[in-house]
Structure 1
Amino acid sequence: MVRIPLSLTARGKAGIARLWRHPESQRGSTARLSERDWHQFDRLALVTRRPATAGPGGEHRSRLRTPAIDFFDHRAYQVGDDPRWIDWNVYGRLGTLQVKVTEAEERLHLFLLLDCSASMDWGEPSKLDRAVEAITALAYVGLRQAAVVRIVCLGQQLRALGPLTGRTQFPEVIRFLASVESAGQVALAEMLSRLPATLPRGAHPTMPLLVLVSDLLVADPRSLGEAFDVLLRAGADLAVIHVLSPQEEAPDPLGEVELVDAETGEILDIGLNFEAIAAYRDRLASWLDEIERVCAQRGLRYARARTDRSIQSLLIEDLRRVQLLR
């Protein structure tokens, strides 16, 4: 069960209401996120590597100069912020450093893409559970950053939430993700190729940041590369979080076993011995190398996330290391 704040205020986390997942939507044991964890996430900010036009209302800094100085919101002070934008009146009342967000900063469009294929609902902890936690935390960071946030579930059909803006919209994220279920066999590359039609349009569209959270289980990684190319040509800044279960890296059973395809239901009877497991690990390593190479060739930020590592480690360590967060 994940404990998540229902409302956010400039006063921090004191007295924040909590929303628990409904028991019917619980997907097994998941880590609780404490008040301290959310305080840590408050200090994070999304990083986009694409130049973008100046737009109203966000706090992702535009590369273009603009004379607008209209006040929009507050956010927590971060190292590197111009101290001239600190609101000392807020500091006097609350004792925390807050900087003013103005219209001179651009609004980031954030698309969080969740793979809901049946293969994700496997492992201990479940890959889908960990992916939902990652999407929740990134949505939290995005809404705090005054981004325009959308969540897209990649199932047999696209299912989406958003656009959402502002910290008060976070409960909508929780309600939407609490109902997520695995959706059988999903043509991941095909679903990704359909996304450009949903990206922002206009005379001066901002470059959207797309974050894909998936186990990337496709027969041929090159099909993923082709889908990534479609998104890049549409002007997206794409990052990939590759979710991997420890049971996939180190399968336990030996002897005669039935392997069941999570998406098609196909059953394969096989005898597993140490030689077979060694061959499997070699093929897994080659496949992971190929996935990483597909991403590296396109300059994508790529992070591998084992489900036995905490969501805190993913955000604070892994996603900072690949410069998706700062």
Structure 2
Amino acid sequence: MAESTALTQFTSLFENKTLSMLERMRLNPTRRLTNRSQGEHLSGKGGTSTEFSDYRNYVPGDDVRYIDWNIFSRLNRPFMKQYQFEEEMHVVVILDASSSMDYEDKFERGKQLAAAFGVMGLLNFEKVSVYACNQHGTRPVRFPPATGRASMKRLFDFLIGLEPGGDEPVELAVEDVLRTHRGRGIAVILSDFESFGDLQRPLNMLFSAGLEIFGVQILAPSEINPEINGDLRLVDSETGQTLDISSAGDLLGLYHEHRLMLEEHLSTLCRQRSGRFLTVNSGDPLEYVLFDLLRRKGWVR
């Protein structure tokens, strides 16, 4: 029975039930001019195209004029007709694949979130691309812009094949991505943000490129609530630098203070550029993050 279940699983990134729920969700950006209830993006030049492209599940609030009633009569389920728009909106996912993400299950959670944001974009006819950045001085590994349900399996296979490792800080990764990307929409940054660089310049570049910033800091449970006993030697996973610690109690208090300061700093940087930011615990259930946390924060609906 277990083998049969595994064979029918669409992807190893999450359960079929989770995927089914994702297919009914939408990203909820604040900056762009769209009429989502009709399934249309408004072109900056005026007007929209009417070229049919794909189907998606009906979501309460959708305009019933776009239901395919022929399919409804056969399946007794409503499906929305989708059309290719004059000005396609982009969902650009930037996944930090540096060595610091190779800790506990941070990178696995990053791939799951990249897949989730990708699904929501693909099935709402956004143009989705993914960049995995790990080695400084090399081009990011890229899933080229794609759209529609037919691209979902390729996206999953791309993400499953990624491995963490490298020394590229997230701020340089963003700049590398913008050397090749063109198009307005959303930029989702999935990272632990454990670097010493200045993020103001790359975030300014994203904002100027017409991309609304969705910053997601992914931390492991032991990074959010570490347990420190006795003397320790801390080793930076990307630079190899070491730090000897002897007063664990004082260090814990200082650690929590600095972690919260970093979180507030990152949140402020995103908000100042009309973006959003949140921190997720990689140990939390994926369904909680997707269907509770992101909904409460207004990122999805």
Name the residue aligned to 2:127.
148
Distance in structure 1 (CA, Å) of the matches to 2:178 and 2:219: 27
Residue of structure 1 aligned with 2:250, choices 264, 272, 275 = 275
1:113 positional shift: 0.6
1:72 positional shift: 2.5
Shift in CA distance, 187/269, structure 1 to aligned 2, threshold 3 Å: same
Name the residue aligned to 2:116.
137
Does 2:294 align with 1:313?
no
Correspondence list, 1:226-305, <5 A: 226-305=201-280
Shift in CA distance, 234/63, structure 1 to aligned 2, threshold 3 Å: closer
Residue of structure 2 aligned with 1:74, choices 48, 55, 60 = 55
Distance in structure 2 (CA, Å) of the matches to 1:63 and 1:80: 22
Shift in CA distance, 60/316, structure 1 to aligned 2, threshold 3 Å: farther
Deviation sequence 1:125-148 (CA, Å, 0-9, x none): x11111011111221222212222
Distance in structure 1 (CA, Å) of the matches to 2:242 and 2:193: 21
Identical-pair percentage: 26
SS in 1 for 2:110: helix
Distance in structure 1 (CA, Å) of the matches to 2:93 and 2:109: 14
TM-score (norm 1): 0.81
Distance in structure 2 (CA, Å) of the matches to 1:104 and 1:117: 36
SS in 1 for 2:231: strand
Does 2:195 align with 1:218?
yes
Deviation sequence 1:142-184 (CA, Å, 0-9, x none): 2212222111011123111112222122222222112212222
Distance in structure 2 (CA, Å) of the matches to 1:167 and 1:94: 19
Distance in structure 1 (CA, Å) of the matches to 2:267 and 2:289: 17
1:263 positional shift: 0.6
Name the residue aligned to 2:156.
174
Correspondence list, 1:19-30, <5 A: 19-20=11-12
Name the residue aligned to 1:193.
175
Deviation sequence 1:35-69 (CA, Å, 0-9, x none): 32222112101233333699xxx945326652643
SS in 1 for 2:206: helix
1:87 positional shift: 1.4
Correspondence list, 1:16-55, <5 A: 18-20=10-12, 33-51=14-32
Distance in structure 2 (CA, Å) of the matches to 1:263 and 1:131: 18
Residue of structure 1 aligned with 2:42, choices 49, 55, 62 = 62
Q: Specify the code of the residue in structure 2 equivalent to 1:132.
A: K
Contact 2:101 2:192 in 1 (8 A): yes
When the two chains are superposed, the root-mean-square deviation of aligned CA atoms in Å is 2.6
Deviation sequence 1:224-283 (CA, Å, 0-9, x none): 122100121122222111111221122113101121111112222211422221122122
TM-score (norm 2): 0.87
Distance in structure 2 (CA, Å) of the matches to 1:155 and 1:197: 16
Aligned residues between the structures: 290
Deviation sequence 1:24-43 (CA, Å, 0-9, x none): xxxxxxxx733322221121
Structure 1: stretches of 5+ with no match in the other structure: 6-14, 21-31, 201-205
SS in 2 for 1:198: coil
Shift in CA distance, 102/184, structure 1 to aligned 2, threshold 3 Å: closer
Distance in structure 2 (CA, Å) of the matches to 1:60 and 1:271: 60
Contact 1:150 1:164 in 2 (8 A): yes
Deviation sequence 1:269-307 (CA, Å, 0-9, x none): 211422221122122222222222222222211121111
Q: Specify the code of the residue in structure 2 equivalent to 1:61.
A: H
Shift in CA distance, 103/122, structure 1 to aligned 2, threshold 3 Å: closer
SS in 1 for 2:240: coil
